[in-house]
Amino acid sequence: MTDTKPFVALCPETLPQRLGGLAALIEKLGENQGSWRVKEVGDGNLNLVFIVEGERGKVIVKQALPYVRLVGESWPLPLKRSYFEYHALMRQSDRDPGMVPEIFHFDVDQAIIVMEFLSPHIILRRALIEGQRLPRIGRDLGLFAARTLFRGSDLAMTARERKQDLALFSDNVELCDITENLVFSDPYFEASLNRHTSPQLDGIVAELRADRDLKVEAQKLKHLFATKAETLLHGDLHTGSVMVTMDETRVIDPEFAFYGPIAFDVGMMIANFWMSYFSQAGHEQNGNREAMRDYLLNVIETIWATFCEEFSDLWRSERNGILYQRSLFEDRGDLLGAEQALDHVLHEIWTDMLGFAGVEIHRRILGLAHNADFETIADLDLRARCECKALKLGRHLAVNRRHIHSLAEINSLAKRLEKETVI
């Protein structure tokens, strides 16, 4: 820490000069920095993102800002989130090779990550709003979740390695704090940053905020989130954190990474597909979305089935950590003991995943950070009808998660809700 330069935000004008000397960039872009074209493309809530194009190719330059971009300088947020993002990307790349962008350079002091420019990839959320039916995402996301979450846990890692990693990521406290407040608490009372489609949703919002069972469940889920340090999570695994083509799926933006419950990533991901499902009615100007709706429910089933299948395969082949050791089961010829334990572990993930899905739906409609799925529906009455159905499903999931047996059951309920007149 001898020659740390003070943090300075990049801009298109200064970027070539500031990063032009980096071997990694010269290799990717070419030596003629003067010819680099820089475009700011960040549409996220937190960071600056640039596409830099040179003679040889393009890269992405991502820089954290010392505040929440969505809110402004009044909400400071430490630059070190870039450090957690970098470390999370490295681990995810090991655990599910090819599923995250390649990293070319990392500058911890300037909070800059230079990474692979993904093209012609687009953000999954945008593709779903456009009604694209991408064939690979269910399987790719199910595998990504199973591989990163299993391999980052005590099921696979040595205790020492995992506890060191836990300590490293436990310093990502400000980003955890955002999730803890924005997902689990703010939606359920009149927090100052909340907003919702008003007055259309005022009735159901009041109902949800008066719903004792829901509030208690949301706080029990927060308790799980804050204390169940089970695996290294992505921490923000929604359809806006996935880039896709018809052939490829990549997961980006793990700056919320920390040790939490396996079920959190899975539940947040699946919730975003249910929101996409209920938002489709708002995007039917250019044609009916019935097939898209079937597709989305199918993707949800594929994510979960793939997750379970891959998690089970890893359980059988890579369970080399301190939990459910082979010495107690397989090594004594007790195959069924290991399978019984697997069933219990998957059952707990299932139950908690539904809860996390429920509150994720709520916070995207009642809290600070809304989804383009609903936000791009210009007709507010129509938007509110879509949102209301999602809110109702979210409440059902969060409160009844211990008594729900299958995705088929939930998806059948979603279809009935979709046909209902709710407000």
Cβ 199 to a copy of itself shortest distance, Å: 21
Q: By the 8 A CB rule, do 401 and 359 touch?
A: no
Q: Taking CB under 8 A as the rule, which mask of x and - marks residues 136-155 in contact with a copy of itself?
A: -----------------xx-
Cβ 92 to a copy of itself shortest distance, Å: 20
* Length in residues, the chain: 423
**Could you tell me which stretch among 19-27, 158-166, 391-399, 412-420 binds a copy of itself (CB under 8 A)?**
158-166
Q: By the 8 A CB rule, do 276 and 296 touch?
A: yes
Return the number of the residue (11 or 167) whose C-beta is nearest a copy of itself. Answer: 167
Return the number of the residue (126 or 228) whose C-beta is nearest a copy of itself. Answer: 228
Residue 170 lies near a copy of itself (rule: CB under 8 A): yes
Give the residue from 375, 129, 388, 147 showing the smallest Cα distance to 244: 129
Residue 412 lies near a copy of itself (rule: CB under 8 A): no
Of 9, 173, 193, 206, the one binding a copy of itself (CB under 8 A) is 173
Using DSSP, state whether 42 is helix, strand or coil: coil
Q: By the 8 A CB rule, do 50 and 38 touch?
A: yes
Q: By the 8 A CB rule, do 214 and 206 touch?
A: no
Using DSSP, state whether 115 is helix, strand or coil: strand
Residue 419 lies near a copy of itself (rule: CB under 8 A): no
For a copy of itself, how many residues bind (rule: CB under 8 A)? 49
Q: What is the DSSP letter of 361?
A: H
Cβ 396 to a copy of itself shortest distance, Å: 19
Read off the amino acid at residue 163: K
**Could you tell me which stretch among 71-79, 137-145, 156-164, 288-296 binds a copy of itself (CB under 8 A)?**
156-164
**Could you tell me which stretch among 133-141, 192-200, 331-339, 380-388 binds a copy of itself (CB under 8 A)?**
331-339
Residue 167 lies near a copy of itself (rule: CB under 8 A): yes
Cβ 333 to a copy of itself shortest distance, Å: 10
**Could you tell me which stretch among 67-75, 218-226, 241-249, 268-276 binds a copy of itself (CB under 8 A)?**
218-226
Residue 423 lies near a copy of itself (rule: CB under 8 A): no
Beta bridge partners of 243: 123, 250
**DSSP string of 72-99, one letter each residue:** EEEEE--TTHHHHHHHHHHHHHHHSTTS
Contacts of 265 (CB under 8 A, 6+ apart): 145, 148, 149, 233, 234, 235, 237
Residue 159 lies near a copy of itself (rule: CB under 8 A): yes
Residue 198 lies near a copy of itself (rule: CB under 8 A): no
**Could you tell me which stretch among 51-59, 67-75, 310-318, 334-342 binds a copy of itself (CB under 8 A)?**
334-342
Cβ 230 to a copy of itself shortest distance, Å: 4
Of 35, 325, 406, 412, the one binding a copy of itself (CB under 8 A) is 325
**Could you tell me which stretch among 18-26, 115-123, 187-195, 397-405 binds a copy of itself (CB under 8 A)?**
187-195
Exposure string for 21-33, b = 16+ CB within 10 A, e = fewer: ebeebbebbeeeb
Q: By the 8 A CB rule, do 115 and 104 touch?
A: yes
Sites for a copy of itself among residues 340-369 (CB under 8 A): 340-341, 344-345
Residue 322 lies near a copy of itself (rule: CB under 8 A): yes
In the numeric block, which tokens belong to residue 397? Answer: 């999931």
Q: By the 8 A CB rule, do 345 and 150 touch?
A: no
117: left (phi over 0), alpha (psi -120 to 50) or beta: beta
**DSSP string of 140-200, one letter each residue:** HHHHHHHHHHHHTSTTTS-HHHHHHHHHHHTT-HHHHHHHHHHHHTGGGTT-TT---STTT
Residue 219 lies near a copy of itself (rule: CB under 8 A): yes
Of 11, 90, 193, 323, the one binding a copy of itself (CB under 8 A) is 323
Instruction: Compute the distance between CA of residue 15 and CA of residue 303 in angstroms, rounded to an integer.
Output: 39
Q: Taking CB under 8 A as the rule, which mask of x and - marks residues 221-240 in contact with a copy of itself?
A: -xx--xxxxx----------
Instruction: Compute the distance between CA of residue 10 and CA of residue 6 in angstroms, rounded to an integer.
Output: 12
In the numeric block, which tokens belong to residue 38? Answer: 């820089």
Give the residue from 128, 125, 131, 141 showing the smallest Cα distance to 44: 125
Of 144, 329, 350, 374, the one binding a copy of itself (CB under 8 A) is 329
In the complex, the residues that contact a copy of itself under the rule CB under 8 A are 153-154, 159-160, 163-164, 166-167, 170-171, 173, 176-177, 180-181, 185, 188-189, 191, 209, 212-213, 215-216, 219-220, 222-223, 226-230, 322-325, 327-329, 331-332, 334, 336-337, 340-341, 344-345
